[in-house]
Amino acid sequence: MSVNACVSTKYGWGLHLYQIPFADFTPVLICIWLSEILFTLAASFVKLSILVFYLRLATTKLYRRVIYGSIVFIIAWATTFTILSIFV
């Protein structure tokens, strides 16, 4: 995401719309599209890493089931929104 932000500023990301040259609209939109995908994946991996850490702390069977359910939900959420970001 950091590389994407650095490349995006080259094309005018962070400026007002009227300050961006018309020729740079397409690269800016591509950078925005990539940032949506990368943010979804980064946020999902952070959530998954926290849940895996919670698994190490879990002592009861119910707590482990809730954590596994949350992991499945986060994976489904990340997959769905990544695919939606790519194709919609």
Please give the mean pLDDT across all residues of the chain. 93
Instruction: Tokens for 38, please give them.
Output: 């990368």
> Can you give the pLDDT at residue 33?
93
Q: Average pLDDT, stretch 10-29?
A: 87
Q: How confident is the model at residue 76 (pLDDT cuts 50, 70, 90)?
A: very high
Q: How confident is the model at residue 14 (pLDDT cuts 50, 70, 90)?
A: confident
User: Does residue 18 have a pLDDT over 90?
Assistant: no
**Contact (CB, 8 A) for 64 and 56:** no
Q: Average pLDDT, stretch 24-51?
A: 94
For 12-40, give one letter per residue: b (16+ CB within 10 A) or e.
bbeeeeeebeeeeeebbeebeebbebbeb
Q: What single-letter amino acid sits at 27?
A: P
